[in-house]
């Protein structure tokens, strides 16, 4: 009798073990009477289901706001100055060049205050514009960024250098963002450059930030392959793509525009006149009947913008070129917000309507390399302003 009871107990234990092994962890807890605890981080949201292996983007939530300004039709210089003057503890800037006297003076005055830490990283070609004990220059290639972090929670970025021409003559966009999380992304990049790491570095720890209802992604080139990030967004377009570019030679990006055109999406672009030559994407796009407008600004169209499906904006310092992708320190923002997209579309329409009755094509003749009006925009350089398409022209 005792042997039979032991045998039955053994059978029950064996079957229970099988049952527990086949259950999920939650079912095991219920069977064993253990409590179930869900561990979450309130500031991190993921669009990936917990049982999915798909690596979908996640984002960190933050509070704050974003403002967009378009130069020269808006007061970009004053906005930039007002933002710098908010500083109470620190100003860290990575600026390709600085020739606005007001900005130069403001930074020097703020640096005299004992409670404000001012540090500037610039390109070696423009060190003479702001050569101070708290300035470091990149001598390894172009430091083409245009951003500042103020007090670790305010960010200025976009396509505008603090120069006379960029603020008052060239077509640009200036972005002011109040967000500790986004500022941290840029501060991490700044610290790498300040400590001598250019053209490489660690990937952005949290590239996606949700600011209220606006999703913003930030990436830094060349270490984070900015061109690939742009291609990924363009491939997702379903209705239309508009672009405004200072220099555009990336054929892979151009090919995506051609394919989307074949899919009957609306594709339109505005391109800087003096950056068009045999290497420009203009030829490929124009020859495939994509409507293009050549800027008529006697200075420069300096935007680096793609607008996708009335919702996604790509902007920053990055020109879609080989140099921009592989050899320069650059940054891009991918902003998903219909209200902000509308502002960029209004800028596109403003320029298109202003110039449309003047010209929509350009003669595709060989460029006279001896001409002082045309620029040698070989692939090595045509991502930049330094060949006197400089903002100081």
Confidence (pLDDT) at 56? 58
d(Cα 294, Cα 281) in Å, to the nearest integer? 13
3-class DSSP state for residue 266?
strand
Residue 49: left if φ>0, alpha if ψ -120 to 50, beta else—which one? beta
C-alpha 48/C-alpha 28 separation (Å) is 24
Q: What is the DSSP letter of 202?
A: P
Question: What is the rounded CA–CA span in Å between residue 380 and residue 383?
Answer: 8
- pLDDT for 255: 97
Average pLDDT of every residue of the chain: 83
Calpha distance 108→345 (Å, rounded): 37
At 141 the pLDDT is 83
Alpha helices for 23-73 (secondary structure H) = 25-32
pLDDT of residue 3: 46
Overall pTM > 0.75? yes
Closest C-alpha among 66, 30, 383 to residue 221 = 383
Helix, strand and coil in the chain, % to nearest 5: 35, 25, 40
Please identify, in words, the CATH class of the domain defined by 62-355: alpha beta
Cis peptide before 222 (omega within 30 of 0): yes
Helices vs strands, H then E, count in the chain: 11, 17
Alpha helix stretches (DSSP H) within the chain: 2-22, 25-32, 76-84, 101-111, 164-168, 180-194, 226-235, 251-262, 281-286, 322-326, 338-355
- Compute mean pLDDT per 10 residues along the chain, 393 residues long, and list them: 45 43 41 34 41 62 97 98 98 98 98 98 97 96 96 98 98 98 98 96 95 96 96 98 97 97 98 94 96 96 98 98 90 98 98 79 43 31 38 34
pLDDT of residue 362: 54
Of residues 70, 48, 68, the one with CA closest to residue 59? 48
How confident is the model at residue 15, as a pLDDT?
41
Please, what sign has the CA dihedral across residues 132, 134, 138, 144?
negative
- 58: which 2 tokens? 């996640």
Distance CA 278, CA 260 (A): 23
pLDDT tens column, 86-118:
999 999 999 999 999 999 999 999 999 999 999
Cα three-residue angle 75-77-79, rounded to 5 degrees: 70
In the sheet that 117-123 helps form, which strands lie side by side, from edge to edge? 65-71, 172-178, 154-158, 146-150, 90-95, 117-123, 135-138
Q: What is the pLDDT of residue 322?
A: 87
């Amino acid at each position: 009798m005792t042997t039979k009871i032991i045998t039955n107990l053994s059978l029950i234990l064996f079957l229970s073990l099988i049952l527990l092994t086949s259950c999920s962890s939650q079912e095991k807890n219920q069977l064993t009477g253990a409590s179930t605890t869900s561990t979450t981080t309130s500031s991190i949201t993921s669009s990936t289901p917990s049982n999915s292996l798909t690596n979908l983007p996640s984002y960190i939530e933050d509070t704050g706001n974003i403002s967009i300004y378009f130069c020269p039709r808006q007061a970009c210089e004053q906005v930039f100055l007002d933002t710098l003057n908010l500083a109470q503890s620190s100003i860290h800037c990575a600026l390709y060049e600085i020739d606005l006297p007001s900005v130069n003076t403001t930074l020097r005055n703020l640096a005299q205050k004992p409670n404000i830490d001012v540090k500037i990283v610039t390109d070696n070609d423009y060190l003479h514009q702001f050569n101070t004990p708290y300035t470091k220059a990149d001598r390894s290639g172009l430091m083409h960024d245009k951003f500042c972090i103020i007090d670790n929670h305010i960010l200025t970025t976009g396509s505008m250098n603090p120069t006379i021409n960029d603020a008052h003559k060239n077509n640009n966009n200036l972005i002011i963002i109040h967000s500790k999380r986004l500022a941290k992304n840029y501060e991490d990049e700044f610290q790498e450059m300040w400590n001598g790491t250019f053209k490489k570095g660690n990937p952005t720890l949290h590239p996606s930030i949700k600011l209220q209802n606006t999703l913003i992604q930030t990436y830094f080139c060349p270490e984070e392959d900015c061109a690939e990030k742009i291609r990924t967004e363009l491939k997702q377009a379903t209705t239309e793509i508009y672009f405004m570019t200072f220099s555009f030679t990336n054929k892979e990006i151009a090919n995506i525009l051609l394919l989307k055109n074949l899919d009957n999406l609306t594709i339109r672009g505005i391109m800087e006149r003096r950056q068009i030559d045999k290497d420009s994407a203009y030829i490929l796009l124009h020859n495939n009947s994509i409507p293009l407008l050549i800027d008529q600004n006697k200075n420069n169209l300096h935007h680096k913008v793609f607008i996708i499906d009335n919702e996604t904006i790509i902007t920053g310092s990055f020109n879609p070129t080989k140099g921009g992708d592989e050899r320069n320190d650059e940054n891009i923002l991918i902003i998903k917000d219909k209200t902000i997209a509308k502002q960029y579309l209004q800028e596109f329409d403003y320029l298109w309507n202003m110039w449309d009755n003047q010209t929509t094509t350009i003669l595709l003749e060989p460029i006279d390399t001896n001409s002082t009006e045309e620029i040698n925009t070989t692939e090595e350089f045509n991502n930049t302003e330094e060949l006197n398409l400089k903002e100081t022209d």
